[in-house]
Amino acid sequence: MPGIILIGAQWGDEGKGKATDLIGTHVDYVARFNGGNNAGHTVVVGDESYALHLLPSGIINPNVIPVIGNGVVVDPEVLFEEIEGLESRGVDCSRLLVSESAHVIAPYHRTIDKVTERFLGKRKIGTTGRGIGPAYADKINRVGIRVHDLFNAEHLHDKVEASLHQKNQMLVKLYNRRAIDVDRTTDELLALGERLRPYVTNTSLVLNKALDEGKTVLFEGGQATMLDVDHGTYPFVTSSNPTAGGACTGTGVGPTRIDRVIAVAKAYTTRVGEGPFPTELFDEQGDWLRNQGHEFGVTTGRPRRCGWFDAVVTRYASQVNGLTDLVLTKLDVLTGLPTIPVCVAYDVEQADGTHVRYDDMPADQAAFAKATPIYEELPGWSEDISQIHRFEDLPATCQAYVKRLEEISNCRISAIGTGPQRDHIIEVHSLID
Protein backbone atom coordinates (compact mmCIF):
# COMPACT_ATOMS: atom_id res chain seq x y z
CA MET A 1 0.00 0.00 0.00
CA PRO A 2 2.50 2.68 -1.05
CA GLY A 3 0.59 6.00 -1.30
CA ILE A 4 -1.96 6.92 1.38
CA ILE A 5 -3.56 10.32 1.83
CA LEU A 6 -4.96 11.24 5.24
CA ILE A 7 -7.10 14.36 5.54
CA GLY A 8 -9.83 16.05 7.53
CA ALA A 9 -13.45 15.61 6.43
CA GLN A 10 -14.99 18.53 8.33
CA TRP A 11 -13.61 21.88 9.59
CA GLY A 12 -10.42 20.57 11.17
CA ASP A 13 -9.40 19.11 14.54
CA GLU A 14 -10.97 15.76 13.70
CA GLY A 15 -8.07 13.85 15.26
CA LYS A 16 -5.79 13.64 12.21
CA GLY A 17 -2.70 13.65 14.46
CA LYS A 18 -3.88 10.57 16.28
CA ALA A 19 -4.85 8.79 13.05
CA THR A 20 -1.47 9.60 11.45
CA ASP A 21 0.27 8.26 14.53
CA LEU A 22 -1.81 5.08 14.33
CA ILE A 23 -1.01 4.44 10.65
CA GLY A 24 2.51 5.83 11.12
CA THR A 25 3.70 2.62 12.71
CA HIS A 26 3.30 0.98 9.28
CA VAL A 27 4.70 3.68 7.00
CA ASP A 28 8.16 4.84 5.96
CA TYR A 29 7.49 8.54 5.25
CA VAL A 30 4.90 11.03 6.54
CA ALA A 31 4.69 14.12 4.32
CA ARG A 32 2.77 17.30 5.13
CA PHE A 33 1.46 18.83 1.90
CA ASN A 34 -0.46 21.99 2.79
CA GLY A 35 -0.91 24.73 5.37
CA GLY A 36 1.65 25.66 7.97
CA ASN A 37 1.68 26.25 11.69
CA ASN A 38 -2.03 27.09 11.64
CA ALA A 39 -2.47 23.34 12.18
CA GLY A 40 -2.58 21.92 15.69
CA HIS A 41 -2.28 18.15 15.84
CA THR A 42 -2.30 16.24 19.11
CA VAL A 43 -0.54 12.91 19.52
CA VAL A 44 -0.90 11.18 22.87
CA VAL A 45 1.62 8.44 23.67
CA GLY A 46 1.24 6.98 27.16
CA ASP A 47 1.47 9.88 29.60
CA GLU A 48 3.03 12.18 27.01
CA SER A 49 0.95 14.53 24.86
CA TYR A 50 2.57 16.26 21.89
CA ALA A 51 1.05 19.34 20.22
CA LEU A 52 2.46 19.60 16.70
CA HIS A 53 1.91 22.59 14.43
CA LEU A 54 4.28 22.56 11.49
CA LEU A 55 6.02 19.22 11.84
CA PRO A 56 4.31 16.13 10.41
CA SER A 57 2.76 13.94 13.12
CA GLY A 58 5.10 11.13 11.97
CA ILE A 59 7.99 12.90 13.72
CA ILE A 60 7.08 11.14 16.98
CA ASN A 61 7.75 7.75 15.40
CA PRO A 62 11.50 7.00 15.15
CA ASN A 63 11.03 4.71 12.12
CA VAL A 64 9.31 7.36 10.03
CA ILE A 65 11.00 9.99 7.87
CA PRO A 66 9.01 13.22 8.29
CA VAL A 67 8.77 15.47 5.22
CA ILE A 68 7.57 19.04 4.76
CA GLY A 69 6.42 19.24 1.15
CA ASN A 70 6.51 22.12 -1.33
CA GLY A 71 2.83 22.95 -0.67
CA VAL A 72 3.48 23.87 2.96
CA VAL A 73 4.27 27.43 4.07
CA VAL A 74 7.22 27.29 6.46
CA ASP A 75 7.85 29.75 9.27
CA PRO A 76 11.49 28.88 10.07
CA GLU A 77 11.38 30.48 13.52
CA VAL A 78 8.39 28.36 14.48
CA LEU A 79 10.02 25.28 12.99
CA PHE A 80 13.14 25.67 15.13
CA GLU A 81 11.06 26.32 18.25
CA GLU A 82 9.07 23.17 17.58
CA ILE A 83 12.20 21.11 16.92
CA GLU A 84 13.85 22.42 20.11
CA GLY A 85 10.72 21.67 22.13
CA LEU A 86 10.56 18.10 20.88
CA GLU A 87 14.29 17.42 21.16
CA SER A 88 14.23 18.62 24.79
CA ARG A 89 11.67 15.84 25.35
CA GLY A 90 13.89 13.25 23.68
CA VAL A 91 12.28 13.21 20.22
CA ASP A 92 14.96 13.10 17.52
CA CYS A 93 14.13 15.52 14.69
CA SER A 94 17.31 15.08 12.63
CA ARG A 95 15.50 12.92 10.03
CA LEU A 96 13.29 15.85 8.97
CA LEU A 97 13.34 16.79 5.28
CA VAL A 98 12.11 20.19 4.09
CA SER A 99 11.28 20.96 0.46
CA GLU A 100 13.53 23.53 -1.17
CA SER A 101 10.46 24.79 -3.06
CA ALA A 102 8.23 25.39 -0.03
CA HIS A 103 7.31 29.02 0.54
CA VAL A 104 8.56 30.86 3.60
CA ILE A 105 6.43 32.75 6.09
CA ALA A 106 8.41 35.92 6.77
CA PRO A 107 7.78 38.16 9.81
CA TYR A 108 5.91 40.63 7.58
CA HIS A 109 3.33 37.95 6.67
CA ARG A 110 2.39 37.65 10.34
CA THR A 111 2.07 41.43 10.62
CA ILE A 112 -0.14 41.61 7.54
CA ASP A 113 -2.34 38.71 8.73
CA LYS A 114 -3.08 40.59 11.96
CA VAL A 115 -3.63 44.06 10.49
CA THR A 116 -5.85 42.67 7.72
CA GLU A 117 -8.08 40.87 10.21
CA ARG A 118 -8.38 44.04 12.27
CA PHE A 119 -9.17 46.02 9.13
CA LEU A 120 -11.88 43.55 8.08
CA GLY A 121 -13.71 44.14 11.39
CA LYS A 122 -16.97 42.22 11.42
CA ARG A 123 -16.05 40.60 8.10
CA LYS A 124 -12.94 39.01 9.61
CA ILE A 125 -12.13 35.34 8.89
CA GLY A 126 -10.96 34.54 12.41
CA THR A 127 -7.56 33.38 11.17
CA THR A 128 -4.93 31.86 13.42
CA GLY A 129 -2.81 35.01 12.88
CA ARG A 130 0.19 32.97 11.79
CA GLY A 131 0.72 34.69 8.43
CA ILE A 132 -0.66 31.77 6.43
CA GLY A 133 -2.99 33.71 4.10
CA PRO A 134 -0.47 36.49 3.26
CA ALA A 135 2.29 33.89 2.55
CA TYR A 136 0.03 31.99 0.14
CA ALA A 137 -1.14 35.28 -1.38
CA ASP A 138 2.50 36.10 -2.18
CA LYS A 139 2.98 32.65 -3.69
CA ILE A 140 0.04 33.10 -6.04
CA ASN A 141 1.03 36.71 -6.67
CA ARG A 142 4.53 35.48 -7.65
CA VAL A 143 6.34 37.58 -5.05
CA GLY A 144 6.88 34.79 -2.52
CA ILE A 145 10.18 33.71 -0.97
CA ARG A 146 10.98 30.02 -1.32
CA VAL A 147 13.26 27.99 0.93
CA HIS A 148 16.07 27.79 -1.67
CA ASP A 149 16.01 31.60 -1.97
CA LEU A 150 17.35 31.74 1.59
CA PHE A 151 20.72 30.44 0.40
CA ASN A 152 21.58 33.28 -1.99
CA ALA A 153 22.09 36.68 -0.32
CA GLU A 154 21.91 38.85 -3.42
CA HIS A 155 18.97 37.07 -4.90
CA LEU A 156 17.11 37.10 -1.56
CA HIS A 157 17.63 40.83 -1.09
CA ASP A 158 16.09 41.39 -4.50
CA LYS A 159 13.10 39.19 -3.71
CA VAL A 160 12.47 40.76 -0.29
CA GLU A 161 12.66 44.20 -1.89
CA ALA A 162 10.14 43.18 -4.55
CA SER A 163 7.83 41.68 -1.96
CA LEU A 164 8.01 44.65 0.43
CA HIS A 165 7.71 47.33 -2.21
CA GLN A 166 3.93 47.22 -2.34
CA LYS A 167 3.43 45.96 1.23
CA ASN A 168 5.25 48.92 2.76
CA GLN A 169 3.05 51.34 0.85
CA MET A 170 0.05 49.50 2.19
CA LEU A 171 1.35 49.28 5.76
CA VAL A 172 2.24 52.97 5.93
CA LYS A 173 -0.56 54.56 3.95
CA LEU A 174 -3.49 52.28 4.69
CA TYR A 175 -2.73 50.72 8.05
CA ASN A 176 -0.74 53.56 9.60
CA ARG A 177 2.16 51.25 10.45
CA ARG A 178 5.92 51.60 10.15
CA ALA A 179 7.57 50.38 6.93
CA ILE A 180 9.52 47.11 7.17
CA ASP A 181 13.25 47.37 6.56
CA VAL A 182 14.46 45.37 3.54
CA ASP A 183 18.09 44.96 4.67
CA ARG A 184 17.21 43.82 8.17
CA THR A 185 14.56 41.39 6.95
CA THR A 186 17.01 39.93 4.41
CA ASP A 187 19.67 39.42 7.11
CA GLU A 188 17.16 37.74 9.42
CA LEU A 189 16.01 35.40 6.67
CA LEU A 190 19.59 34.57 5.65
CA ALA A 191 20.44 33.57 9.24
CA LEU A 192 17.32 31.38 9.43
CA GLY A 193 18.28 29.83 6.06
CA GLU A 194 21.67 28.77 7.44
CA ARG A 195 19.96 26.90 10.28
CA LEU A 196 17.45 25.37 7.90
CA ARG A 197 20.01 24.20 5.32
CA PRO A 198 20.77 20.74 6.80
CA TYR A 199 17.13 19.69 6.42
CA VAL A 200 16.55 21.04 2.91
CA THR A 201 16.34 18.80 -0.12
CA ASN A 202 14.36 17.98 -3.26
CA THR A 203 11.51 16.23 -1.44
CA SER A 204 9.56 15.46 -4.62
CA LEU A 205 12.51 13.40 -5.82
CA VAL A 206 12.91 11.70 -2.43
CA LEU A 207 9.24 10.75 -2.21
CA ASN A 208 9.02 9.49 -5.80
CA LYS A 209 12.15 7.36 -5.33
CA ALA A 210 10.73 6.00 -2.09
CA LEU A 211 7.53 5.01 -3.89
CA ASP A 212 9.60 3.43 -6.71
CA GLU A 213 11.29 1.27 -4.09
CA GLY A 214 7.93 0.11 -2.72
CA LYS A 215 8.13 2.22 0.43
CA THR A 216 4.92 3.51 2.00
CA VAL A 217 4.26 7.24 2.10
CA LEU A 218 1.51 8.83 4.16
CA PHE A 219 0.45 12.27 2.93
CA GLU A 220 -0.83 14.15 5.98
CA GLY A 221 -3.19 17.08 5.47
CA GLY A 222 -3.45 20.08 7.74
CA GLN A 223 -6.88 21.71 8.14
CA ALA A 224 -9.77 19.98 6.35
CA THR A 225 -12.14 19.70 3.40
CA MET A 226 -14.52 22.49 4.47
CA LEU A 227 -11.55 24.86 4.97
CA ASP A 228 -10.25 24.24 1.42
CA VAL A 229 -9.82 27.46 -0.56
CA ASP A 230 -11.57 25.87 -3.58
CA HIS A 231 -14.02 23.42 -2.03
CA GLY A 232 -14.71 24.85 1.41
CA THR A 233 -16.93 27.57 2.82
CA TYR A 234 -15.21 30.40 0.96
CA PRO A 235 -14.22 33.04 2.08
CA PHE A 236 -14.23 31.47 5.57
CA VAL A 237 -11.47 29.05 4.67
CA THR A 238 -7.73 28.70 4.90
CA SER A 239 -5.58 29.66 1.91
CA SER A 240 -4.46 26.19 0.79
CA ASN A 241 -5.90 22.93 -0.57
CA PRO A 242 -6.34 20.47 2.31
CA THR A 243 -8.39 18.17 0.02
CA ALA A 244 -6.88 15.03 -1.51
CA GLY A 245 -5.79 16.77 -4.73
CA GLY A 246 -3.58 19.04 -2.66
CA ALA A 247 -1.47 16.03 -1.63
CA CYS A 248 -0.20 15.70 -5.21
CA THR A 249 0.43 19.37 -5.96
CA GLY A 250 1.79 19.87 -2.45
CA THR A 251 4.45 17.15 -2.70
CA GLY A 252 5.21 16.69 -6.39
CA VAL A 253 3.83 13.15 -6.49
CA GLY A 254 1.39 12.17 -9.25
CA PRO A 255 -2.19 11.00 -8.62
CA THR A 256 -1.49 7.57 -10.14
CA ARG A 257 0.70 6.81 -7.13
CA ILE A 258 -2.09 7.20 -4.61
CA ASP A 259 -3.75 3.99 -3.47
CA ARG A 260 -5.94 5.12 -0.64
CA VAL A 261 -7.65 8.30 0.56
CA ILE A 262 -8.61 8.26 4.23
CA ALA A 263 -10.53 11.07 5.90
CA VAL A 264 -10.97 11.63 9.60
CA ALA A 265 -14.36 12.81 10.89
CA LYS A 266 -15.57 13.42 14.41
CA ALA A 267 -18.77 11.69 15.57
CA TYR A 268 -20.10 15.27 15.86
CA THR A 269 -18.84 18.53 14.32
CA THR A 270 -16.66 21.44 15.45
CA ARG A 271 -15.39 24.61 13.86
CA VAL A 272 -12.94 27.34 14.93
CA GLY A 273 -13.07 30.90 13.58
CA GLU A 274 -15.84 32.57 11.64
CA GLY A 275 -18.14 31.23 8.91
CA PRO A 276 -21.37 29.27 8.46
CA PHE A 277 -21.92 26.04 10.39
CA PRO A 278 -25.47 24.64 9.96
CA THR A 279 -25.55 22.16 12.87
CA GLU A 280 -23.94 24.55 15.38
CA LEU A 281 -25.48 24.45 18.87
CA PHE A 282 -25.79 27.69 20.80
CA ASP A 283 -27.40 26.16 23.88
CA GLU A 284 -26.26 24.02 26.80
CA GLN A 285 -25.96 20.99 24.50
CA GLY A 286 -23.17 22.82 22.67
CA ASP A 287 -21.47 23.56 26.01
CA TRP A 288 -21.90 19.91 26.97
CA LEU A 289 -20.16 18.73 23.76
CA ARG A 290 -17.37 21.31 24.25
CA ASN A 291 -16.73 20.13 27.81
CA GLN A 292 -17.08 16.41 27.15
CA GLY A 293 -14.86 16.63 24.06
CA HIS A 294 -12.36 19.16 25.50
CA GLU A 295 -12.98 21.27 22.42
CA PHE A 296 -10.43 24.05 22.79
CA GLY A 297 -7.94 24.85 20.00
CA VAL A 298 -4.42 23.37 20.08
CA THR A 299 -2.99 26.37 18.20
CA THR A 300 -4.89 29.36 19.57
CA GLY A 301 -6.68 27.94 22.63
CA ARG A 302 -9.98 29.30 21.30
CA PRO A 303 -13.15 27.43 22.37
CA ARG A 304 -14.34 25.41 19.36
CA ARG A 305 -17.89 25.89 18.10
CA CYS A 306 -19.73 22.57 18.50
CA GLY A 307 -22.68 20.90 16.78
CA TRP A 308 -24.15 17.58 15.69
CA PHE A 309 -22.75 15.32 12.98
CA ASP A 310 -23.49 16.69 9.53
CA ALA A 311 -23.74 13.99 6.86
CA VAL A 312 -24.10 16.54 4.04
CA VAL A 313 -20.54 17.58 4.93
CA THR A 314 -19.14 14.04 5.12
CA ARG A 315 -20.93 12.98 1.89
CA TYR A 316 -19.40 16.02 0.23
CA ALA A 317 -15.99 15.06 1.65
CA SER A 318 -16.42 11.58 0.14
CA GLN A 319 -17.20 13.18 -3.20
CA VAL A 320 -14.48 15.84 -3.51
CA ASN A 321 -11.73 13.66 -2.05
CA GLY A 322 -12.67 10.31 -3.60
CA LEU A 323 -12.53 8.74 -0.15
CA THR A 324 -11.84 5.06 0.35
CA ASP A 325 -12.15 5.08 4.16
CA LEU A 326 -13.39 7.17 7.05
CA VAL A 327 -11.87 7.18 10.53
CA LEU A 328 -14.60 8.17 12.97
CA THR A 329 -13.15 9.79 16.10
CA LYS A 330 -14.49 10.87 19.49
CA LEU A 331 -17.41 8.46 19.52
CA ASP A 332 -16.82 8.16 23.29
CA VAL A 333 -17.74 11.83 23.72
CA LEU A 334 -21.37 11.08 22.81
CA THR A 335 -21.76 8.47 25.57
CA GLY A 336 -24.61 9.35 27.91
CA LEU A 337 -26.96 11.04 25.44
CA PRO A 338 -30.46 9.48 25.33
CA THR A 339 -30.81 10.31 21.62
CA ILE A 340 -28.40 11.85 19.11
CA PRO A 341 -29.53 14.11 16.26
CA VAL A 342 -27.73 13.63 12.95
CA CYS A 343 -28.14 16.03 10.03
CA VAL A 344 -29.07 14.19 6.83
CA ALA A 345 -29.98 17.13 4.55
CA TYR A 346 -30.54 20.90 4.59
CA ASP A 347 -33.62 23.01 4.26
CA VAL A 348 -32.88 26.32 2.53
CA GLU A 349 -35.39 29.14 2.29
CA GLN A 350 -35.32 30.70 -1.18
CA ALA A 351 -35.69 34.38 -2.08
CA ASP A 352 -39.39 33.85 -2.90
CA GLY A 353 -40.07 32.32 0.52
CA THR A 354 -40.34 28.70 -0.68
CA HIS A 355 -38.24 25.96 0.94
CA VAL A 356 -35.92 23.60 -0.94
CA ARG A 357 -34.33 20.42 0.43
CA TYR A 358 -30.63 19.99 -0.34
CA ASP A 359 -29.21 16.48 -0.12
CA ASP A 360 -25.95 17.74 -1.61
CA MET A 361 -23.75 20.62 -0.52
CA PRO A 362 -24.98 23.91 -2.00
CA ALA A 363 -22.18 25.56 -4.00
CA ASP A 364 -23.74 28.96 -3.38
CA GLN A 365 -22.41 30.14 -0.02
CA ALA A 366 -25.41 32.43 0.49
CA ALA A 367 -27.60 29.31 0.41
CA PHE A 368 -25.22 27.42 2.69
CA ALA A 369 -25.27 30.27 5.21
CA LYS A 370 -29.08 29.92 5.40
CA ALA A 371 -29.12 26.11 5.56
CA THR A 372 -31.14 24.64 8.43
CA PRO A 373 -30.41 21.02 9.28
CA ILE A 374 -32.95 18.29 8.71
CA TYR A 375 -32.30 15.89 11.58
CA GLU A 376 -32.78 12.23 12.14
CA GLU A 377 -32.80 11.18 15.83
CA LEU A 378 -30.76 8.10 16.63
CA PRO A 379 -30.85 6.26 19.98
CA GLY A 380 -27.83 6.82 22.26
CA TRP A 381 -25.95 4.56 24.71
CA SER A 382 -24.71 4.98 28.27
CA GLU A 383 -21.96 2.32 28.58
CA ASP A 384 -18.26 3.34 28.70
CA ILE A 385 -16.83 2.35 25.30
CA SER A 386 -13.20 3.42 25.81
CA GLN A 387 -11.93 -0.08 26.61
CA ILE A 388 -13.69 -1.81 23.72
CA HIS A 389 -11.52 -3.05 20.85
CA ARG A 390 -14.00 -4.96 18.68
CA PHE A 391 -16.89 -3.38 16.82
CA GLU A 392 -19.18 -6.28 17.82
CA ASP A 393 -18.60 -5.50 21.50
CA LEU A 394 -19.98 -1.96 21.25
CA PRO A 395 -23.50 -1.42 22.62
CA ALA A 396 -26.09 -2.22 19.92
CA THR A 397 -27.29 1.39 19.62
CA CYS A 398 -23.69 2.58 19.30
CA GLN A 399 -23.09 0.08 16.47
CA ALA A 400 -26.28 1.30 14.81
CA TYR A 401 -25.11 4.93 15.11
CA VAL A 402 -21.83 4.09 13.34
CA LYS A 403 -23.61 2.03 10.66
CA ARG A 404 -26.05 4.87 9.95
CA LEU A 405 -23.20 7.42 9.71
CA GLU A 406 -21.43 5.11 7.27
CA GLU A 407 -24.55 4.82 5.12
CA ILE A 408 -25.30 8.54 4.96
CA SER A 409 -21.66 9.54 4.51
CA ASN A 410 -21.27 7.33 1.46
CA CYS A 411 -18.04 5.83 2.74
CA ARG A 412 -17.10 2.86 4.89
CA ILE A 413 -15.92 3.55 8.44
CA SER A 414 -12.68 1.64 8.91
CA ALA A 415 -11.62 2.78 12.36
CA ILE A 416 -13.34 4.27 15.39
CA GLY A 417 -11.75 6.46 18.05
CA THR A 418 -12.95 5.71 21.55
CA GLY A 419 -10.60 7.98 23.53
CA PRO A 420 -7.49 10.17 23.11
CA GLN A 421 -4.88 7.46 23.77
CA ARG A 422 -3.06 5.53 21.02
CA ASP A 423 -4.87 2.31 21.91
CA HIS A 424 -8.32 3.89 22.18
CA ILE A 425 -9.23 2.64 18.75
CA ILE A 426 -11.37 -0.01 17.08
CA GLU A 427 -10.03 -1.12 13.69
CA VAL A 428 -12.88 -2.42 11.55
CA HIS A 429 -10.97 -2.68 8.25
CA SER A 430 -7.19 -2.50 8.02
CA LEU A 431 -6.01 0.96 6.97
CA ILE A 432 -2.71 -0.13 5.48
CA ASP A 433 -3.14 -3.14 3.19
Angle 221-213-201 from CA coordinates, rounded to 5°: 55
d(CA 72, CA 68): 7
Instruction: Determine if residue 295 is labeled as part of a ligand binding site.
Output: no
List the single partner that 185 binds among Mg ion, ligand GDP, ligand IMO, none, CB under 5 to 8 Å by kind.
none
Minimal CB distance residue for ligand IMO = 273
Instruction: Please report how close the Cβ of residue 396 comes to ligand IMO at its closest, in angstroms.
Output: 32
Instruction: Determine if residue 193 is labeled as part of a ligand binding site.
Output: no
d(CA 52, CA 40): 6
3-state secondary structure of 364: coil
Q: CB 284: neighbour CB atoms within 10 A? A: 8
Binding footprint of Mg ion, residue count (CB under 5 A): 3
List the single partner that 289 binds among ligand GDP, Mg ion, ligand IMO, none, CB under 5 to 8 Å by kind.
none
> According to the binding rule CB under 6 A, does residue 12 interact with ligand GDP?
yes
Instruction: Please report how close the Cβ of residue 75 comes to ligand IMO at its closest, in angstroms.
Output: 12
- Residue 188, H or E segment: helix 182-196
- Who's near 361: CB < 8 A, 6+ residues apart? 312, 313, 315, 316, 368
- Who's near 24: CB < 8 A, 6+ residues apart? 30, 57, 58, 60, 61, 64, 218
Instruction: Determine if residue 54 is labeled as part of a ligand binding site.
Output: no
> According to the binding rule CB under 6 A, does residue 221 interact with ligand GDP?
no
List the single partner that 272 binds among Mg ion, ligand IMO, ligand GDP, none, CB under 5 to 8 Å by kind.
ligand IMO
Q: Where in 351-370 is the site for Mg ion (CB under 5 A)?
A: none
Instruction: Determine if residue 177 is labeled as part of a ligand binding site.
Output: no
Binding footprint of ligand IMO, residue count (CB under 6 A): 23
Site track 231-270 with ligand IMO (rule: CB under 6 A), x = hit: -------xx-------------------------------
Site track 24-63 with ligand GDP (rule: CB under 6 A), x = hit: ----------------xxx-x-------------------
- Who's near 390: CB < 8 A, 6+ residues apart? 426
d(CA 34, CA 246): 7
- Residue 320, H or E segment: helix 311-321
Q: Would you call 424 a catalytic residue per the annotation? A: no
Binding footprint of ligand GDP, residue count (CB under 6 A): 22
Q: Exactly one of 53, 109, 139, 148 is catalytic; which is it?
A: 139
Instruction: Determine if residue 423 is labeled as part of a ligand binding site.
Output: no
Q: Would you call 41 a catalytic residue per the annotation? A: yes
DSSP strand pairing (73-74 vs 103-104): parallel
Considering only residues 43, 132, 323, 426, which one is a binding residue for ligand IMO as defined by CB under 6 A? 132
DSSP strand pairing (97-99 vs 65-68): parallel
Q: CB 4: neighbour CB atoms within 10 A? A: 25
> According to the binding rule CB under 6 A, does residue 8 interact with ligand GDP?
yes
Instruction: Please report how close the Cβ of residue 40 comes to ligand IMO at its closest, in angstroms.
Output: 4
Considering only residues 37, 204, 223, 269, which one is a binding residue for ligand IMO as defined by CB under 6 A? 223
> According to the binding rule CB under 5 A, does residue 13 interact with Mg ion?
yes
DSSP string, 218-229: EEEPSS-GGG-T
> According to the binding rule CB under 5 A, does residue 21 interact with Mg ion?
no
With contacts defined by CB under 5 A, name the span among 13-21, 56-64, 234-242, 304-312 that binds Mg ion: 13-21
d(CA 13, CA 64): 23
- Who's near 366: CB < 8 A, 6+ residues apart? none
- Who's near 191: CB < 8 A, 6+ residues apart? none
Q: Would you call 26 a catalytic residue per the annotation? A: no
> According to the binding rule CB under 6 A, does residue 419 interact with ligand IMO?
no
List the single partner that 420 binds among Mg ion, ligand IMO, ligand GDP, none, CB under 5 to 8 Å by kind.
ligand GDP
Angle 389-375-233 from CA coordinates, rounded to 5°: 90
Phi and psi, residue 366, nearest 5°: -70, -35
With contacts defined by CB under 5 A, name the span among 39-47, 86-94, 331-339, 416-424 that binds Mg ion: 39-47
Instruction: Determine if residue 61 is labeled as part of a ligand binding site.
Output: no
Phi-psi category of residue 11: left, alpha or beta, with phi > 0 → left and psi -120 to 50 → alpha: alpha
- Residue 414, H or E segment: strand 413-417
Considering only residues 9, 18, 268, 342, which one is a binding residue for ligand GDP as defined by CB under 6 A? 18
List the single partner that 238 binds among ligand GDP, ligand IMO, Mg ion, none, CB under 5 to 8 Å by kind.
ligand IMO
Residues that bind ligand GDP (CB under 6 A): 8, 12-18, 40-42, 44, 298, 329-330, 332-333, 417-420, 424
Catalytic residues: 13, 41, 139
List binding-site positions for GTP.
12-18, 40-42, 304, 330-332, 417-419
